[in-house]
Amino acid sequence: MSYADGWAAMNLRMPSRVPRVEVSAEWYHFDLIKAVTGIEVTADSPHERRQEATKAFVRAWNYDMAFGCAVGYNVLEKKRSSMGHAVYAKCGRDFDTNIYCAFKSIEEALAFDPWETYGPQDEGEIINLFNRNYRGQCEAFPDAVNMTGIYTTLMSGMIAIFGWDMLLTAAGTDAAGFGEVVNRYASWIGQYYTALARSDTPVVYSHDDMVWTEGPFINPAWYRKYIFPNLEKLWAPLVEAGKKIIFFCDGNYTEFLDDVAACGNAGFWFECFTDLGKVVEKFGSTHVIIGNGDARVLTFGTKKQIRAEVERCMATGKNCPGYFMCISGHIPANVPVESAIYYNEVYQELSQR
């Protein structure tokens, strides 16, 4: 692990090697953790044992930055929908068939006011929440750049609250009315962004799954009226406080790269669907760039294909001062151990500049 390399890249001072960050492998892929560290650990192991194994794995794989997030579905428990959950963790421990919508009608959804439902929050308590999360990250991964942040920023909040069926129906029935719901939610979640600006973390994770794998699912003009103006307002106190904002969105948000950048982020984190070449072309010298590695290649590909995938990412991102290698679709438990280990070997081989 190298805080120095990670922080250099975060500040666009090109380190001698391409730094990296990964997600999920260190917490969920117990077979891989055991193979890499030699520590016997499973999902049933005591928390302390799993923490020990995670720390050892992160050191062994030389993470230069560690992912952290304090605010997500946890702040929406008073009223949110459930879409269930497919199998992701080993042995399907996270499989969930409990599916329901918290709203009985489109009219109820369009009238939703998060201030009435969730209420105002104590800023001091929120600041402490972020600081505890950030300090916990620093204690666990002292040799990496750490962060904390918010998962349910705007559209991800809408997905959690309404579920996909009601969200799409409400947006399709009354786009302006649904936009006003987003405005009210942005006002409410703004409490958390204001507190985040006053927290200790120098790096902020701001997540919003606003698109699908093929791009936006609502007219792009709607995003430019209701999503990006709100995103700019939410980020304004962070920018003023000098925080480095790393924006992450699943799917393909290539169409919105300029819109996101205009809101004030320091970095882009994205899956394989967003065009790495476009990001590098537009922001290669001005922004941190994280990811683009395709998890499907690790899951189903041959060694030749895995090498080609790492070579593709390196060929495009390696000349950018703030580029981090990452398999942005995560490295879950169904990735073959030998494929993950080979990926790491190729990364280590090609990471030197």
pLDDT of residue 329: 82
Quote the CA–CA distance of 278 and 282 in Å, as a whole number: 6
What is the residue-averaged pLDDT of the chain?
Answer: 96
Position 74 scores a pLDDT of 96
127-157 burial code (b ≥16 CB/10 A, e <16): bebbbebbeebbebbebbbbbbbbbbbbbbb
For residue 27, which of 343, 339, 331 has the smallest C-alpha distance?
A: 331
Per residue in 287-342, pLDDT (tens digit) is 999 999 999 999 999 999 999 999 999 999 999 999 999 998 899 999 999 999 99
How confident is the model at residue 269, as a pLDDT? 97
pLDDT at 91: 67
Point out the residues of the chain with pLDDT beneath 50.
none
**Structure pTM?**
0.95
The pLDDT of residue 312 is 98
CA atoms within 13 A on the CB side of 64: 22
Other beta carbons less than 10 A from residue 331's beta carbon? 25
Neighbours of 339 (CB within 10 A): 20
Q: Which helix (H) or strand (E) holds 249?
A: strand 244-249
Amino acid at 200: D
Q: What is the pLDDT of residue 96?
A: 73
Q: What gap in Å lies between CA 314 and CA 34, rounded to an integer?
A: 28
Helix (H) or strand (E) holding 203: strand 203-207
Give the pLDDT confidence of 103-131 residue by residue, as tens digits.
999 999 999 999 999 999 999 999 999 99
Angle at 184 between CA 179 and CA 187, to 5 degrees: 125
Four-CA torsion 188, 109, 153, 250, nearest 10 degrees: 180
Confirm or reject CATH 3.40.50.300 for domain 66-350, answering yes or no. Answer: no
Residue 325 CA to residue 314 CA, distance in Å, equals 8
In the chain, domain spans:
66-350
Residue where the block lists tokens 């302390």:
48
